[in-house]
């Protein structure tokens, strides 16, 4: 057992698939949505920090973490948004704040754009919810037919590489082990590969129209003046400063912090600073 991830596991069934989630603490609800190739383990420190004041819920997306990993499943942005929507309905969450990372940005903002009345505050961490043509070569390789599948699912090249490429401070052996634990076989790495394939770069892509819909809904969230906090690890080869700048442009009233020496997994590299800013932001915007 990882000393920072010693939580009770909870499960809920959505469309015949079992979803795993962490549900800690009491108070205003915070919903934490992870990306690729992480899982709820990524949020372990923030769960520990905030559970004394809030109800903190961290879901494992389908195919990720301890959730089911169906082999014949449409792993698309629309599916992930639908799952999050069904999940929050199952738990009878009528109001919540969101903390979003990586793919969690598009998924969480997809929900927020459709149900803005349920959203209180939003925190975004190295993520996107809008179109971009920026695709690093090391990720593009993982999309090449056959070669990409071999690298991601056969050699675990995506998740394993992230344990040292997504951080600026080396992870300890146990933490690396836990990041990789749910993705220990070809079968269990299906969602990692499908997330890579689901990056929409042109109008013919299966998730392009859905991403456009999410992108257009951002204006609605801004017009409703939902408090937004942008926290960014500047040493990120994928979600570069251009993404940070676009968030700031789309939400000029948002509070933002840029940590130039932290990587994509900023909750590993600069947790203390990030935690302090999240806690203060949540308190400052209490209704």
User: Does 181 reside within a domain?
Assistant: yes
- pLDDT (tens digit per residue) in 44-61: 999 999 999 999 999 999
> What is the pLDDT, as a whole number, of residue 142?
84
Q: How far apart are CA 229 and CA 45, in angstroms?
A: 18
> How many structural domains is the chain composed of?
1
> What is the pLDDT, as a whole number, of residue 287?
66
Domain that residue 176 falls in: 9-284
> What is the pLDDT, as a whole number, of residue 134?
84
User: Does 87 reside within a domain?
Assistant: yes
User: Does 235 reside within a domain?
Assistant: yes
Instruction: Tell me the whole-structure pTM to 2 decimals.
Output: 0.97
User: Does 2 reside within a domain?
Assistant: no
User: Does 3 reside within a domain?
Assistant: no
- pLDDT (tens digit per residue) in 107-117: 999 999 999 99
What are the structure tokens assigned to 138, written together?
A: 């090391």
User: Does 155 reside within a domain?
Assistant: yes
User: Does 143 reside within a domain?
Assistant: yes
Flag whether pLDDT at 35 surpasses 80.
yes
- pLDDT (tens digit per residue) in 127-160: 999 999 887 887 888 888 889 999 999 999 999 9
Find the mean pLDDT for residues 118-129: 98
Coil, strand, or helix at residue 287? coil
Q: What is the dihedral of CA 10, 14, 16, 22, to 10 degrees?
A: -20
Distances (CA, A) of 83 to 21, 80, 111, 119, 191: 13, 5, 10, 17, 14
- pLDDT (tens digit per residue) in 198-207: 999 999 999 9
CA atoms within 13 A on the CB side of 66: 16
Q: What is the CATH number of the domain that holds 252?
A: 3.40.50.1820
What are the structure tokens assigned to 97, written together?
A: 């704040």
User: Does 1 reside within a domain?
Assistant: no
> What is the pLDDT, as a whole number, of residue 144?
87
């Amino acid at each position: 057992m990882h000393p920072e991830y010693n939580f009770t596991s909870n499960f809920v069934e959505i469309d015949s698939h079992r979803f795993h989630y962490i549900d800690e603490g009491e108070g205003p609800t915070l919903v934490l949505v992870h990306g690729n190739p992480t899982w709820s383990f990524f949020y372990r420190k923030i769960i520990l920090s905030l559970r004394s004041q809030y109800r903190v819920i961290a879901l494992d997306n389908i195919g990720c973490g301890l959730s089911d990993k169906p082999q014949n499943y449409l792993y698309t942005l629309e599916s992930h948004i639908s799952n999050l929507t069904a999940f929050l309905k199952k738990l009878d969450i009528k109001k919540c704040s969101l903390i979003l990372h990586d793919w969690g940005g598009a998924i969480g903002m997809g929900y927020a754009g459709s149900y803005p009345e349920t959203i209180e505050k939003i925190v975004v961490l190295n993520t996107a919810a809008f179109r971009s043509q920026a695709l690093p070569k090391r990720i593009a390789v993982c999309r090449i037919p056959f070669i990409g599948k071999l690298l991601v699912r056969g050699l675990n090249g995506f998740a394993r590489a992230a344990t040292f490429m997504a951080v600026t401070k080396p992870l300890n052996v146990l933490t690396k082990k836990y990041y990789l634990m749910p993705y220990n076989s070809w079968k269990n790495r299906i969602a990692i590969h499908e997330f890579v394939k689901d990056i929409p770069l042109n109008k013919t892509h299966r998730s392009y129209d859905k991403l456009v819909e999410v992108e257009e809904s951002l204006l609605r969230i801004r017009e409703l003046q939902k408090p937004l906090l942008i926290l960014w690890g500047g040493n990120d080869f994928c979600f570069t400063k251009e993404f940070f700048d676009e968030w700031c442009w789309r939400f000029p009233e948002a509070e933002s912090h840029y940590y130039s020496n932290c990587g994509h997994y900023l909750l590993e590299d600069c947790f203390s600073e990030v935690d302090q800013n999240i806690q203060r932001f949540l308190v400052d915007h209490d209704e």
